[in-house]
Amino acid sequence: MKTQPDPVRLEIFNNLYQFIAEQMGIVLQNTAMSVNIKERLDFSCAIFDSSGSLVANAPHIPIHLGSMSESVRSLIKDKKDTIKPGNVYISNNPYNGGTHLPDVTVITPVFSQFPKPHTPHPTPLFYVASRGHQADIGGITPGSMPPHSKTIEEEGILFDNFLLVEAGKFQENAVREILTNHKYPARNAQQNIADFKAQTAANNRGLKELQKMVDKYSLETVQTYMKFVQDNAEESVRKVIDVLQNGEFTVQLDNQAKIHVKITIDQLTRSAIIDFTGTSPQLDNNFNAPSAVTQSVVLYVFRTLVKDNIPLNSGCLKPLQIIIPEGCMLNPIYPAAVVAGNVETSQNIANCLYGALGIMAASQGTMNNFTFGNEKYQYYETICGGSGAGKNYHGTDAVQTQMTNSRLTDPEVLELRFPVLLESFAIRNNSGGKGEYNGGNGVIRKIYFLETMTAGILSSSRINPPFGLQGGQAGEVGKNYVMRNNGTQEQLDSTATIEMQPGDIFVIESPGGGGYGTK
Amino acid sequence: MVSVNSSEKWQFWVDRGGTFTDIVAKSPQGKIIIDKLLSENPEQYQDAPIQGIRDILGIGKNQPIPTEIIGVVKMGTTVATNALLERKGERVVFVTTKGFKDALRIGYQNRPDLFALQITLPEMLYETVIEVAERYNAQGEELESVNREQVKQDLQLAFARGIRSCAIVFMHSYRYPKHELEVTEIAQEIGFTQISVSHQVSPLIKFVSRGDTTVVDAYLSPILRRYVEQVKNNLYNLADDSYSEQGTTNNQQLTKLMFMQSNGGLVDADLFQGKDSILSGPAGGVVGAVKTCEIAGFKKIIGFDMGGTSTDVSHYQGEYERSFETEVAGVRLRSPMMAIHTVAAGGSSILHFDGNRYRVGPDSAGSNPGAACYGRGGQLTITDCNVMVGKLQPQFFPKVFGKNANLPLDKQIVIEKFKQLVEEINYGRNEEQIASGFLAIAVNNMANAIKKISLQKGYDVSEYTLCCFGGAGGQHACLIADALGMKQIFIHPYAGVLSAYGIGLADIIIIKEKSVEAICDETSLNTIQTIFSELITLAKQELAAQGETDKQKITISKKVHLKYVGTDSSLVVDYGNLNNMKQQFESLHQQRYGFIVTDKNLIIETVSIELICPTYQPEVIEPEPTSIKNIQPQPIDTVKVYMNNSWQDTPVYQREELQSEAIINSPAIIVEATGTNIIEPGWQGKISNSKNLVLSKIFE
């Protein structure tokens, strides 16, 4: 086997690995029952080499990118040689490679179809995994995105490399037991189980395609090119690192916690140390982010620096050494609550990294997670805002930024399914920070309630604005408030839960992005 | 000049594409004539289709076209598609419900490129917005009536600024259109010449995509109108300024002018609308593929139309497949269109080497400068790979290349450029090996795209026939089929102009739809019966307006779009009783998604009717093959082609000279006027009685 990849095969294998991940995604989207996976595409599928390194994935949601690899590695570490053909594992443990509880990962080890005789413990050749966002996984509020959770238990059910399929048999009873036998059980265990089955089916597709590939090209070739595609991605990132400068940056969250990063570039080895020392210790709210989240954000940010269509895999992370002290809010200790880490803290880690690199002013720094519901209805959405300006470009108004790209329900469908009226949804003029290049504007979203319901908002950048860079001004902070039917107005904090009465209007003004450069 | 025959007249079937305009003409005697000319050539002619008609009829530049001998001109055109891509449509005012002025701009708030720091969103098509104080809720209660005075003032202001086209889109109007109608009336009084109203353009739920569709319609319809008028003026020999509103001249009654719509059906020129025009040409290709394959006896086909910049893939197994929501150039279109999957890879896709891996496209050399072998300074492309490996031979191409369009294909420059690549890549590979490598990548990309849509829809592509057409299709057909495990390839004699041919064979199709969004039960079944009769009446009126009154010819099918409660993905079934529709739905759901849900109600999302009125019945019928005669065809040349990692002596055949039932063994090249077909090792070609070329896989 050559030590240099054949450039034709490199591209063909690169496309094939990617295509296997895409096929898994199609199977998952087709066979899933929940609207979240089937229609909002809140899922990702990926394939991994025998060490758990990401080889290829079909990304829909950036936050899933780097973190799945951590789940696979934790499985390898935990289960070692008990991993057998026909077994499938399930995990969402934020303290063992997961991000937050609703994101459940199903992992299938791939073995050779023709095991060598006299090997009592065959080892997996590859792993395939799929992650889907569960509409509900238990916890103190429907939808499992509680604004005020204090411990992980309040956020729902935790699977820790649980054996979902044992020797080909789906452990339905055992899974249902876990989903329902909890202080705050899952509200629709049947749907969870259906989605887990769909994820298993998606993995099966990946397993079969990988086995076919081995048949066609030989195991050695398939494994060698798994390494080559990672080398290729690694090289692309090293090329970018070449031209970066050292930097240091701090982002303050609304709850007074701060994220601090220091990036040190080594031009000689074309590598970077990304050190989060100095970040606030673990919090008593749910803005803690498991280390897999930070790893995801780092991978995403460095991937965006490469202005080319490169494969996205663990190779991208090789030139990057990430340091996150244990016990800080980016590497919390069980049983800290973490649900906002994935959706809110992650956005601010991204801003902090772009700030340290001096590349782009802050984007809105939140996903504006808005929920409402009662016994009959449950609804969840994330709301767009302004993106940050950078060298030579303005930010963009009203768009999903950084770690999310989820779609919004159409206003007519929203009003048909839920007892609300969308009063207005408009660009929030002059909310982007001014500069040589202006930040993008946020939005104003007003929802009028027709029935009594509980509404919740989980957001950031309500006190500390998205920063400007190189003399550019900060974007406007966001606002959450309720206009009561009787004409009064109630201001809300960054995270809040409130009872809505018929005739009340919930208003969310999302933050603008920061400006870049002085005018 | 051609003599006049009163019973049979000329027919012209035209596909006006971005680069070339293809024309298939049928003479009164039934003879087919093919012509291909540049779509834009202002020094020579104003309008390519008209020039083509003149050329074929032998009419001089200043002579009038004898419309009395032309029965019909059927046309597909990219005029509107180009206006959309280049954002060169009409100035539009977007009129919408108060609070929603930015709703189309924000859309579903997602960004197109996950990894771009600078987020670039598609430019909006409207110039200005008017918000109207008015509101219905989802249940049809009028919460606020239209403030007519204010609307009138605002519209007058837009009119005064010179805007003549408006798009009216109100919340829940797909079901409760009263307010839209009120405002339409006001706009008419003011004098707007194009008024696109959302409940008429697309009577379906989803504000954002219905809104986009309405704006596109307002943006493109005036462009189409002008184009139709231009064609009419040229065809009917009217001076540019003599075309008037009442303008039905005698000439117009003689020659019918029809256009191809995105849904695969023809429509009278005067009724051609912007929202239905986007896939005008490609839809003709699907119709051509389906109709020619059906005649030849192939029931399950993958349409594979490989052109210069892109490749269009379609799927057929007995019914045209349509998508009901399509995104084109950043615009969401909620209108039934042929389901066509476009891959950004074609003959002109540019080759890249980034230091580690080869890549093909997605950028294209286009038609100018075009591929390197065109001799106009272009970069290496897929076409050049085929020149390098000998699959394309300059001696079989007309001398229309080079700066002055008078030289043969330039093989020398291709060899030189590949030599440079050999040094740059430095991996111990020679020129032809590198060219084959790039071809393998392009083939893989296209095969993966086909595999992906087949997986999405749950069918097994290996049972299908690959219907191959378009300029570059035949060069890659065997390789694509091999990559997909397909065993049979069909290449029609008019494969090079199959879109134009398909436009000729197409039917008039009128699709009418309406949102229902109700639980599927006996009550709603009664409701939809009423809706069906309304829709059918509408469709028949529209057909009559196109001058078609022959009720014998038409067929009408009724469809119901069903989905499980709480979900968004509907499946289309034939209208029937409750049990029957449920069974159809469950079997489709099982095939596509692998499961069914027993405890969930079904929702009727939409109902639709499709009225079909044939316009032309091809008389060609495939006779049963008699005995297998192995007629040994004579090659016109033998050339060296690099296939399967070695140079092979390869005979070249002229397709037009091949007799019925001729068998062509691999390797071989079959050249024809509009394309080159390669028979790769393992394949065998056979000419059918109707001169179709059918390739079969005979060994691995």
Cβ neighbours for B666, distance < 8 A, ≥ 6 positions apart? B679, B680, B681, B682, B683, B684
Average pLDDT, stretch B174-184? Answer: 97
User: Per 3-state DSSP, what percentage of chain A is helix, strand, and coil (rounded to 5)?
Assistant: 30, 25, 45
Strand, coil or helix: what is A470? Answer: coil
Residue B631: per-residue pLDDT: 66
CB contact under 8 A, A359 and B207: no
Peptide bond into B362 cis (omega under 30): yes
Q: Do the domains spanning B10-84+224-276 and B508-613 agree at the CATH topology level?
A: no
Q: In what side-by-side order are the strands of the sheet with A126-133?
A: A54-58, A43-49, A126-133, A103-110, A88-91, A162-166, A169-170
Residue B255: per-residue pLDDT: 87
Interchain contact A105–B (C-beta under 8 A): no
Per the CB < 8 A criterion, the answer to whether A274 and A298 are in contact is yes
Average pLDDT, stretch B449-477? Answer: 88
Q: What does the pLDDT look like over B24-53, one tens digit per residue?
A: 999 998 888 998 888 877 778 888 899 999
Task: Give backbone dihedrals phi and psi of A372, rounded to 5 degrees, phi first.
Answer: -150, 160
How far is B269 from B261, CA to CA, in rounded Å?
A: 10
Strand, coil or helix: what is B405? Answer: coil
What does the DSSP assignment read for B533-581? Answer: HHHHHHHHHHHHHTT---TTT-EEEEEEEEEETT----EEEE---HHHH
Q: What is chain B's length?
A: 700
ipTM of predicted assembly, 2 dp: 0.92
Q: How confident is the model at residue B629 (pLDDT cuts 50, 70, 90)?
A: low
Residue A285, phi-psi category: left (phi > 0), alpha (psi -120 to 50), beta (remainder): beta
Average pLDDT, stretch B660-670? Answer: 93
Residue B1: per-residue pLDDT: 35
CB contact under 8 A, A201 and B207: no
How far is A11 from B556, CA to CA, in rounded Å?
A: 49
Interchain contact A144–B (C-beta under 8 A): no
Per the CB < 8 A criterion, the answer to whether A300 and A320 are in contact is no
Choose, out of A8, A424, A425, A447, the residue to mutate when testing the contact with B (most B CBs < 10 Å). A8
pLDDT higher than 70, residue B242? no
Determine the distance in angstroms separating the CA of B592 from the nearest CA of chain A, rounded to an integer. Answer: 7
Q: How confident is the model at residue A135 (pLDDT cuts 50, 70, 90)?
A: confident
Q: How many percent of chain B have pLDDT more than 90?
A: 64
pLDDT higher than 50, residue B241? no
Question: Taking CB atoms and an 8 Å cutoff, what residues of chain B touch A11?
Answer: 357-359, 441
The structure tokens listed for A156 are 């729902």
Q: Which of A37-46, A292-301, B477-486 has the lowest mean pLDDT?
A: A37-46
Residue window 89-118, chain B: list those with CB within 8 Å of chain A: 98-103, 105-106, 108-111, 114-118
- The fold of B10-84+224-276 is Nucleotidyltransferase; domain 5 (3.30.420)
Residue B2: per-residue pLDDT: 38
- Sole residue written with tokens 């035209």: B14
Average pLDDT, stretch B460-477? Answer: 91
What does the DSSP assignment read for A225-285? Answer: HHHHHHHHHHHHHHHHHTT---EEEEEE-TTS-EEEEEEEEETTTTEEEEE-TTPPB--SS
Closest CA to B167 of B147, B150, B183: B183
Interhelix angle B48-57/B207-235, nearest 10 degrees: 40
CATH number of B508-613: 3.30.1490
pTM here is 0.90
What does the DSSP assignment read for A25-89? Answer: HHHHHHH--SHHHHTT--EEEEEEETT--EEEEE-SSTTHHHHHHHHHHHHHHHHGGG--TT-EE
Interchain contact A429–B (C-beta under 8 A): no
Average pLDDT, stretch B671-694? Answer: 92
The structure tokens listed for A133 are 């966002």
Domain ranges of chain A: 7-231, 360-519
Residue window 433-462, chain A: list those with CB within 8 Å of chain B: 440, 443, 446
How far is B2 from B24, CA to CA, in rounded Å?
A: 17
- Report how far apart, in Å, the C-alpha atoms of B297 and of each of B290, B329, B393, B671 are: 10, 37, 33, 25
pLDDT higher than 50, residue B318? yes
Residue A278: per-residue pLDDT: 97
The one-character DSSP state at B356 is: S
Choose, out of A412, A416, A508, A516, the residue to mutate when testing the contact with B (most B CBs < 10 Å). A412
The structure tokens listed for A269 are 């080895």
Sign of CA dihedral B121, B125, B129, B133: negative
**What number of other Cβ atoms are within 10 A of residue B43's Cβ?**
4
How far is B35 from B501, CA to CA, in rounded Å?
A: 12
Peptide bond into B177 cis (omega under 30): no
Choose, out of A30, A196, A199, A437, the residue to mutate when testing the contact with B (most B CBs < 10 Å). A30
Q: How confident is the model at residue B81 (pLDDT cuts 50, 70, 90)?
A: confident
Q: What does the pLDDT look like over B331-368, one tens digit per residue?
A: 889 889 999 988 888 898 999 998 888 899 888 887 77
Interchain contact A208–B (C-beta under 8 A): no
Highest-scoring range by mean pLDDT, A471-480, B519-528, B540-549:
A471-480
Name the more confident of A62 and A273. Answer: A273
Q: What does the pLDDT look like over A403-415, one tens digit per residue?
A: 998 888 899 999 9
CB contact under 8 A, B592 and A30: yes
Q: For residue B226, give the H/E element and its range.
A: helix B207-235
Per the CB < 8 A criterion, the answer to whether B372 and B388 are in contact is no
Q: List the Cα angle B429/B431/B437 in 5-degree steps.
A: 70
Question: Taking CB atoms and an 8 Å cutoff, what residues of chain B touch A398?
Answer: 102, 105-106, 109
Report the relative pairing of strands B341-343 and B326-328 from DSSP bridges.
unpaired
Domain ranges of chain B: 10-84+224-276, 88-221, 287-343+447-504, 349-440, 508-613, 650-697
The structure tokens listed for A425 are 């949804």
Q: How confident is the model at residue B630 (pLDDT cuts 50, 70, 90)?
A: low
Residue A19, phi-psi category: left (phi > 0), alpha (psi -120 to 50), beta (remainder): alpha
CB contact under 8 A, B566 and A19: no
How far is B429 from B423, CA to CA, in rounded Å?
A: 9
- Report how far apart, in Å, the C-alpha atoms of A14 and of each of A21, B358, B630 are: 11, 11, 45
Average pLDDT, stretch A203-216? Answer: 92
Closest CA to A251 of A303, A287, A304: A287
Residue window 266-285, chain A: list those with CB within 8 Å of chain B: none
Q: What does the pLDDT look like over B180-200, one tens digit per residue?
A: 999 999 999 999 999 999 999
Q: How confident is the model at residue B240 (pLDDT cuts 50, 70, 90)?
A: very low
Beta partners for residue A457, in sequence order: A370, A496
How far is A289 from B224, CA to CA, in rounded Å?
A: 55
Please, what CATH class does the domain formed by B287-343+447-504 belong to?
Answer: alpha beta
Average pLDDT, stretch B369-374? Answer: 90
Instruction: State chain A's mean pLDDT as an integer.
Output: 93
How far is A94 from A80, CA to CA, in rounded Å?
A: 20
